[in-house]
Amino acid sequence: MRYLPLTPADRTEMLRVIGAESIDALFDDVPEAARLSGTIEGLPDHATELSVERHMTALARQNTVAGEVPFFLGAGAYRHHVPASVDHLIQRGEFLTAYTPYQPEIAQGTLQMLFEFQTQVARLLGTDVANASMYDGSTACWEAIGMARRITRRGKAILSSGLHPHYVSVAKTMAKYTGDVLETGTPTLSADTDLDALIAAIDDDTSCVVVQYPDILGRIADLQPLADACHAKKALLIAVVTEPVAMGALKSPGEMDADIVVGEGQSLGVGLQFGGPYVGLFGCKDKYVRQMPGRLCGETVDADGRRGFVLTLSTREQHIRREKATSNICTNSGLCALAFSIHMTLLGEAGLRRLAGLNHAGACHAADRLAQVPGVRLVTPRFFNEFTLDLGQEARPVVRALADRGVLAGVSLGRLYPGEDSLANGLVVAVTETTTPEDVEALATALEEVLA
């Protein structure tokens, strides 16, 4: 077996050193009844690289590859072009096969990268500080709600109806067990966000308001009035960013005084990957840093006075605080954070702004073109790279029909909100730098045919 270096002679010699008669003797502590007799049911013996590759490739071929068709899906996961050097660098064995940097003398590569990542994320989101990443955006969102509870000692969170329904679902799951009260709502198929309603709902029991920016339909709104309203009641504003590229064009939530900003970082460096692994972004104001969940990397010096980096404030974490930890999380998404950070370094501020501009311009063009299709109405007048169309008929079957024609048209609101008839006609369309004018034309043409 190519992955197991011991030879039969090695095993014999090692058993002799140990003083055991056989391998089975080393498993003496396993009661007879617990031992698996015979082999693993149905699993063939070890296989060559070539044969495994054939099996996996056959499975891969059954999928429609986003890059091979006109493709318009977003809703929390976006297809961007990732420069070739990103994947090359994250496959360096010293990054790929390293552990969590608990021995800082021989992990400065990972630690310095995390320090750079934290700074990039904080600047992107407009927060004072950021952590070394979370599992993904949805879990980061829930962790932010828990953090607001710890800071305010209040248990009611108000979730905007524009928050991704799967993020809401994750929060609902967790709240069942922590006792947090969540106020949630369903969006309307209109240009109006629920900001005014959120402001009206804040009271003295409110720990936080959670708002997505841009929201699930692609809408954008100034968060400053909402932040002011939160702070007037000593509640926190949590902003959720599922498309970090938007931060190259849009004022950041931190600039609008959000207290905690979380996000999904998948757009930069990571790719679609059918939903994971992704990378959760988590930033906040300085004064809340000790209530922040997740790993943190900090600057210090070594015994010779040279600058170095270490994991710090770890007393917040589960391995020390056990049942009193800020969270039960004990990993971050290190390699995805590295991919994010490399992509961001390649872009730089100038590149990020240019990339965001291209995304926005492409989306504006697509929105105009698709709104010309008979029966189609553009719901969202202001947006970044994702907008919502009202198709005038149920969108979900339309998406399926378009897939049959080789166009992946977007995410139907029927998929995201099953059973919500008022949203069934909605289609959320994302456009990035990978979308060509020909793709838009293919979608428009196919849509005309299907809707007719």
Partner 1 sequence: MTINQSGWKPEMAVKGADAAAPTFTGNKALMLEEPLIFEIGSTETTGVDFAEGDVKHDRLGDLTRKAPIGLPGLSEPETVRHYTRLSRQNYAIDLGLFPLGSCTMKHNPRLNERMARLPGFADVHPLQPVDTVQGALGVINELAHWLITLTGMHGVAMSPKAGAHGELCGILCIKAALEARGEGHRKVVLVPESAHGTNPATAAFAGFTVEDIPATADGRVDTAALKARLGPDVAAVMITNPNTCGLFERDLKDISDAVHAAGAYVYCDGANFNAIVGRVRPGDLGVDAMHINLHKTFSTPHGGGGPGSGPVVLSEALSPFAPLPYTARTADGHVHLIEEERTEEFSNEHFGGKLDSFGRMTAFHGQMGMFTRALTYILSHGADGLKQVAEDAVLNANYVLRSLEDVLDAPFGSAGPCMHEALFSDSNLAEGFSTLDVAKGLIDEGFHPMTVYFPLVVHGAMLVEPTETESKAALDQFIGALRSVAERAKAGDASLKSAPHFAPRARLDETRAARKPVLVWKDAEPQAQAAE
Partner 2 sequence: MRYFTEEHEWVEIDGAIGTVGITEYAQGQLGDIVFVDVPADGRTLAKGDEAAVVESVKAASDVYSPVSGTVLEGNSALADSPDLVNSDAEGEGWFFRITLSDEDELGELMDEAGYEAFVAKL
Position among 199, 201, 346, 451 found at the interface with partner 1 (CB under 8 A):
346
Residues 6+ apart with CB under 8 A from 142: 167, 170, 171, 174
Please list every residue from 23 through 62 that binds partner 1, using CB under 8 A: 23, 25-31, 33-36, 39-47, 49, 52-53, 55-62
When asked if residue 8 is in the footprint of partner 1 (CB under 8 A), the reply is no
Position among 8, 204, 301, 438 found at the interface with partner 1 (CB under 8 A):
301
Residues 6+ apart with CB under 8 A from 306: none
> What DSSP line would sit under 3-32, residue for residue?
T----HHHHHHHHHHHT-SSHHHHTTTS-G
CB of 36 to partner 2, least distance (A): 41
Position among 244, 267, 335, 379 found at the interface with partner 1 (CB under 8 A):
335
Task: Give how far the C-alpha of residue 111 lies from the chain's centroid of Cα atoms, to the nearest Å.
Answer: 21
- Crossing angle (nearest 10°) for helices 334-371 and 437-451: 60
Instruction: Look at residue 112 and give the partner it binds from partner 1, partner 2, none, a contact being a CB closer than 5 to 8 Å depending on partner kind.
Output: partner 1
- Asked if 231 and 202 count as a contact pair (C-beta separation under 8 A), the reply is no
CB of 201 to partner 1, least distance (A): 23
The size of the interface with partner 2 (CB under 8 A), counted in residues, is 7
Candidates 142-150, 315-323, 360-368, 431-439 — which segment interacts with partner 2 by CB under 8 A? 315-323
* Token digits of residue 122: 């904080």
When asked if residue 320 is in the footprint of partner 2 (CB under 8 A), the reply is yes
Residues 6+ apart with CB under 8 A from 163: 141, 184, 210, 211, 212, 215, 216, 240
Position among 55, 290, 307, 382 found at the interface with partner 2 (CB under 8 A):
290
* Token digits of residue 327: 């969270």
CB of 446 to partner 1, least distance (A): 14
CB closer to partner 2 out of 79 and 154: 154
When asked if residue 315 is in the footprint of partner 2 (CB under 8 A), the reply is yes
Binding map of partner 1 across residues 244-273, x = CB under 8 A, - = no contact: ---xxxxxx--x--------x------xxx
Position among 182, 199, 371, 403 found at the interface with partner 1 (CB under 8 A):
403
* Cα four-point dihedral sign 388, 390, 396, 401: negative
* Token digits of residue 385: 């790279």
Q: Residue 337's closest CA among 266, 256, 409, 424?
A: 266
CB of 170 to partner 2, least distance (A): 28
Where does this chain bind partner 2 (CB under 8 A)? 290, 314-316, 320-321, 324
